[in-house]
Structures are given as structure tokens and as C-alpha cells.
Amino acid sequence: MQVPTAPTPTPGPDSPKDSPRGSPGLFRKLLVNQSIRLQRRFTVAHPLCFDLDNGLSCRRSALDPQSGSGLGRVVQAPGQHSQRRESFLYRSDSDYELSPKAMSRNSSAASELHGEDMIVTPFAQVLASLRTVRSNVAVLAHLQGHKAAKQASIGNPPSGSQPPPPPEDTGQQLVLETLSELDWCLDQLETLQTRHSVGEMASNKFKRMLNRELTHLSETSRSGNQVSEYISQTFLDQQTEVELPGGTPTEPLRPMSQISSLRGLPHSASLSTATIPRFGVQTDQEGQLAKELEDTNKWGLDVFKVAELSGNRPLTAIIFSIFQERDLLKTFQIPADTLVTYLLTLEGHYHADVAYHNSLHAADVAQSAHVLLATPALEAVFTDLEVLAAIFASAIHDVDHPGVSNQFLINTNSELALMYNDTSVLENHHLAVGFKLLQAENCDIFQNLSTKQRLSLRRMVIDMVLATDMSKHMNLLADLKTMVETKKVTSLGVLLLDNYSDRIQVLQNLVHCADLSNPTKPLPLYRQWTDRIMAEFFQQGDRERESGLDISPMCDKHTASVEKSQVGFIDYIAHPLWETWADLVHPDAQDLLDTLEDNREWYQSKIPHSPVDPVSPERGGPDRFQFELTLDEAEEEEEEERMLAQEASESPDTELLSAEARPDPRDLGLDNQRTMGKPCVDHEGNVMAEPFGT
């Protein structure tokens, strides 16, 4: 929705001539600020059309249904989020920031400067300040000229009705030159690409602020320190140096060029169009499955129920339904039997004995991405090829996940870490397996794409899956927030996605949000995901203990506080990300923010107020030992910590998952997935304290 340009009113008869409000320049500034306050929602802007294959095109109208998508959205200034809590990004960065930008977003001064919402990314702050300076200079110039004209008219009244000539003194000339310089600076800044160095300004600032928050958290208690260390190592791209134990690698040697773990279809591949089931899977509960899949377009689909009704094939059933819903089989001439064959083969390469990063998680991420793509704010923005790439990237983004983190693979000198040079190890492997499976018999679902389309899709999928490396989280967040705020400041909210960099940036964050969407789901689903991710963490910790490695943060079942890990994850990772996404698609994600806050409060309420005495007879002795400490407790004595750790290590079955009784991680099967068999552990390349994937 374009913002109507209001006519510039002239001062009324009751307006003092010397009042700043009588200045047309200031009045225009006030109108701009008012329009920014009143508008935040992005709507699709259609000045041009964008084709990923052909770039900008002026031959087709963006409103033409054949044109596929619009270029972008109109960023409108959001209203206040009622009483919703804001993330740490809006706190003062006072150690480094001495400008008025450090004030509260909702202060009167901040509202006058930048609308109701505070600007927090450095580049957008520079633009906002320059615009304020220019406006102030324009007002001063108007006042100076008006005052000089008034004095001249008093000293030498003009004859007739001729107005006095404008003064041409040195001060006025200096003001005009200053305005000209400011206009040039603004033009230059507004045309800069914000994807790289400018985005790094915000990324470095946010990392600095997060480090300060984590420092405070780590000083509160032992468990707070563990949560802080986990977030730092997982989301801040900080590699830890470990001393490797002696011994020889347990993995069999194989050629470095070989993509590991490719297996054939675990059942008959002789599918034909005539024998394709309604949802791509054989089940005697098709009616119930159909009823459950009616919620495919809704946030919070119960993928656990879908798995139960689909014969433990939730990924195949959900992706097949999404392709049919979006008519992608017809658009890209994908044979139905080829799609089902590929999906079954892909799902067979997810490990059923990994508690979290299995086909259930892939199905959940793909369905979440499907819903986010359909949000009213984005429904006409992306082309069919971009939508296909996003759904495909979501489906393959964790395939063949071993249940351990990137850092674990690096620390153990795994073959994958060697192959990918310790860089986004699992993400690169997921991509290699996902694309390699297309070469299997009757699995090439992209066989009818043109060469150009195929290359474009591959480029987008690679960019999206690599962005699921959680160590890149702060960079993604900073880039998105910088883009949104910069467009908001520079062009009254018009966000034109007219180049690949901006478009893929939004798609990367969309898949990233889907990957970190568990805390925004209904609490019963969220709790199941939490149980699963913690089961992976604890099993990785067991492997590290057996191998003589340092146990990764949140992976020690004797010391981890699940509730605090979730509160910390929401406060420092999920909330800032979803808050920024909600700004992009306002008001479409407001319900998700409310659910996120409710879930955070639930886990906060489950944190016990005091630790349990491990040797108290009435509590059953060491077998019921718990390490949970509240964030406001002081650190215990060093000697006591060693004693407690020794007692805990003597009770291998001791687990503290929450204040409530939780099931054993090995019983988290939910019919289609069990944690028995292969040791399932942490998440892909980055240990996460929350049920979401890499």
C-alpha cells in the first residue's frame, strides 16, 4: 500500500510566523514521522517484475498472473506491540554508543526522531540521524530567512505589495551549501548495498551486546554459565580448542570424493502414476491422514500425528501434499511417481534412530516454510521457482544427520570434517546427499526444468541450506534487521526485492525461522521437540564422556537445566529473530510472538526456586540428584562442585530434564522414531538448546 502524499499546508492565520510549525519543511518532516508511526505493514510493491532467470523485465506487468511475483513490500512503521516484551537488541549499547540512539525506543525523544520504533542497526541509525540533521538545517534556514526578511520589512517598508527580496548573506549561503552536501551524502548512502560490510556493522554490534548479556547470565550461577557457554559456542561462530584423546579413528577409510551413506530405496521402486497413493504413502488410515493434512496450510500442524497415520513417512506425506496444494507438479512438469520415489528415498536417508534431526523435523520445517511463504505479506512476492527451491531446501536441509554437532565431528577428526575443511560440515553434507539422490533411478524431480532454471534453483538451495548453520545466526539476523530498518528510513517503507541478494536474504531467513520455529508452536508440540533435542544432546554428551572429550554445553545429563536452556534460547536467539521477522511481515506474525512469549513463561515457571539437596535422606539420596539452580543464585564453592560432580557421575541413570517427571530419552519414539540404536546426539554443526534443526 503506497503512502499517499499529503499536500503541504501553509501556516494558518493563528500560527505565529516565527513558529517552527509554520515552516513547510518542518511540517513535511512531521507528516513523514506521522505516516511512519501509522504504517508498518509491508504490502507488495509492483513497479516492475522480477524473474530469477531473466532478471528485471519491463515487458510484463507485475499484476499479470503469468509474471509470477512482485518485487517487494512496503515497509510501514508498526504500531506498538501493546505490552509485548522486546528483545535485548533494543537495550542500550552504552559502552560503545554515546548518541541519542541509546535511549528507549518508546521515549518521546525517540518517537520524534525515528517514529514509534527505535532504530537499532548502525547504518540505519546513520541515515536517520542525517535525515534529522538535514531537516533541522532546513528549519533553521527557513527561520533565518524569515527573520531577516521581517527585519528588512520593518527597517525599510516595501512600496506597494511587492515582497522584500530574500537575504543573500554568508550564513544563508552556508546553510544552502550544507543542505546540498547532506543531500549528496544521503544519495550515496541510500544506494549502498547493505548485504556485506554494512550488515557486518550490525552483526558485530549484536554479537557485542549478546556477549555482554551472556556474561551477566554466566555470573549468576553454574547452570547459567552452562547456558551462556552453549549459546556462545552455538550461535556466535566461536570455535573451541580441545585436546584430542589418543587412539586411531574408528571410521573406515574411504575415498574423499565419495558421498557417504547413499542407500537404495528400502522398498519396491516400481511405482507408476496409476498406483500412487493419495498422499504418496501406503496407509490403511488414509481417511484420518486426510483429515490431519487439512491443517497443512496452518501453523502448528501436528507432524507427530501425521507420522503415526502415514506409516512413519511424515516427510513424504507432507511434501507431496504441499506440492499438490501449490500445483508445483503441473508448473514444473514433475511426474507424480518420480516425486514419490524421490521423497521416499530422501526420507529413507534420514536416521530414524536420531531423536531430533530426523524426517519428522524435516517435515516440520518444510511445512512451516510453506506457511510462511503463504503469509499475506509475502504471498505475491516470490516466483514459483523460488518457492520450489525453498520447499526443497527445507526438505533436504538435515538429510543423513548423524545426531551430533559440527563441532563434535571436527573434534573427532571425522571424514566429513576433513572433506569440508571444518566449514559448515553437516550443511555441506546435507546438500551433497540431497542433490546426489536426484541421480538415483526415477528420482530426478527436476528433469523437465531448463538448464537455466536448474542452475538457478541449485544456487538458491545451496544458499538456503548453508544458512541453516547456526553459527551464522547472528549474521543472518543482523543482515535482515539492517535491510528492514534501512528501507524503512530511506524510502518511507518501500522494500523492493529487485535483486538476487535481497531476495535470497529474505528466503534464507524464512527457512532459518522455520528451522527455529518450535518455540512458536503450541506448547504440547514444543515440549515434544524439547524432549527430543535434549535426548540428542545427552547422548552426544555420553559419547564425549566415553571418548575422553570435554562434554559440550547442555550435553551433560547430570548438570543440564532444560528449563533454563529454553528460556535462554528464547531470550537471546528465538525472540530477536522472530521479532525482526514480525517487523518484515507485520501484522501477520503477531500471534506467533504471543505464543513464543507464552511458551517462554511456561518454561520460566518450571525453573525451581532452589536446588535439591543431593544427600538429603528424604529426597532419596544421590539417585535423585539434581543440578538445577536458579539464575539469581551465587556460585557454589569449588570443592563442593567437584564432590557433586563425582556423586553424579556415580549415578549414570540420573537425569534432570525438568521439575516434572520426563520420559527416558530412549522412549521418545512416537511410533516412527526411536532413540535406540545409533547414538543420537546434538544438532547439526551447532548444539542447540531447543527443538529445532540446523
What does each C-alpha distance from 689 to 43, 194, 641, 693 come to in angstroms?
Answer: 35, 31, 23, 10
- The answer to whether the beta carbons of residues 296 and 318 sit under 8 Å apart is yes
Bridge partners (DSSP) listed for residue 44: 73
Q: Is 397 a catalytic residue?
A: no
Give the integer Cα–Cα distance in Å for 178 and 516: 47
Q: Which amino acid is at 383?
A: T
Coil vs helix vs strand at 646: helix
Separation of first and last alpha carbons in the chain: 35
For helices 590-605 and 523-547, what crossing angle results, to 10°? 60
Q: Residue 40's beta-bridge partner residues? A: 76
Distance CA 354, CA 318 (A): 20
Query: Could you identify the residue written with the cell 531473466?
Result: 54
Active-site residue identified among 81, 114, 351, 357: 357
Which residue from 367, 362, 366 is spatially nearest to 352, judged by alpha carbons? 362
User: What span, in angstroms and rounded, lies between the C-alpha atoms of 202 and 208?
Assistant: 10
Beta-sheet pairing, 494-496 with 49-51: unpaired
How many CB atoms sit inside 10 A of residue 554's CB? 33
CA proximity to 375, closest of 571, 472, 517: 517
**Beta strands 72-74; 55-57: pairing state:** unpaired
DSSP line for 234-247: HHS--PPP--PPSS
The full DSSP string for 105-166 is: TTSHHHHHHH-SSPP-SHHHHHHHHHHHHHHHHHHHHHHHHHHHHHHHHHHSPPSTTPPPPP
Residues 6+ apart with CB under 8 A from 286: 277, 278, 279
Tell me: cis bond preceding 11? Omega within 30 of 0 counts: no
- The secondary structure of 170-200 as a DSSP string is HHHHHHHHHHHHHHHHHHHHHTS--SSHHHH
E strands, 439-571, are 494-496
Catalytic residues: 357
